[in-house]
Amino acid sequence: MNYVSAHDHDDEFDPENPMGKPEVPDHVQNAIRTLIEWAGDDPNREGLRDTPKRVGRAWLEYCEGYKEDPAIHLSRIFEEVGGYDEIVLLKDIPFQSHCEHHMAPIIGKAAIAYLPNKKVVGISKLARVLHGYAQRLQIQERLTAEVAQCIWDNLDPHGVAVVIEAQHGCMTGRGVKTPGVGMITSRILGCFLDNDSSRKEVMSLMGY
Ligand SMILES: Nc1nc2c(ncn2[C@@H]2O[C@H](COP(=O)(O)OP(=O)(O)OP(=O)(O)O)[C@@H](O)[C@H]2O)c(=O)[nH]1
Ligand SMILES: [Zn+2]
């Protein structure tokens, strides 16, 4: 039997880089080498030799959100929802971001709710919107507001509520060094803002 390799038809196949990992330009690698040296280590020692490439690729992944407009995930809309007109909530969505001040990890979970007005999306799309904005350099307040606004602008719902709870690496591993401390932010729009009972209902479904 003849086996066809996945790479047989790939003109770009590079035996030096069989996994096709993204190239990291020299100036990026040099910047990381400079940082390693400045932090007190030797970028030429065995264990650190490939680190500038790895760090470059890791940052491409951490910042994948810049490659897309998260609104694209809300373009496939289901208009036939069988008369469903109650709150839709996705909660405990884990996410990772990086703070724009220290580029340190922000690790947390989000709850995203909306009250549909004819337009409903596949539930995974709410998490995709979150990750699209989280995979950038962020502050938690802006991340929360951007997710809420994106849903508001694209689904024309009656209401949107986004609550994010996260720990900031820049507060745990450095600086004030206070592990375990959590930051909570919310952005509430439409009927959840204007109507007390709607607001209470969504907050209680979220567990707040
Ligand atoms: N509001 C807000 N602040 C954040 C967020 N992430 C990090 N920070 C804060 O950004 C602030 C930056 O403060 P600076 O005084 O400029 O920086 P710094 O000297 O490193 O501050 P310390 O962290 O207190 O050591 C710090 O208080 C961080 O805790 C975020 O998502 N939202
Ligand atoms: Zn920070």
The verdict on domain 79-206 having CATH code 1.20.200.10 is no
> 26-69: per-residue pLDDT in tens?
999 999 999 999 999 999 999 999 999 999 999 999 999 999 99
Provide the residue ranges of all domains of the chain, joining segments of one domain with +. 1-62, 79-206
* Class of domain 1-62 (CATH, top level): mainly alpha
Q: Spell out the long-range contacts of 22-31 with Cβ–Cβ below 8 A and sequence spacing 24 or more.
A: 22/57, 22/60, 24/52, 24/53, 24/56, 24/57, 25/56, 28/52, 28/56, 29/53, 29/56
Would the pTM count as exceeding 0.80?
Answer: yes
Whether 175 lines ligand 1, by a CB cut-off of 6 Å, is yes
- ipTM > 0.85, yes or no: yes
Characterise 185 by phi-psi region: left (phi > 0), alpha (psi -120 to 50), beta (else): beta
Q: Judge if the beta carbon of residue 45 lies within 6 A of ligand 1.
A: no
Question: Per residue in 69-118, pLDDT tens?
Answer: 999 999 999 887 677 789 999 999 999 999 999 999 999 999 999 999 98
Closest residue CA from atom 17 of ligand 1? 101
141 lines ligand 1 (CB under 6 A): yes
Which ligand has its closest atom nearest to the C-alpha of 184?
Answer: 1
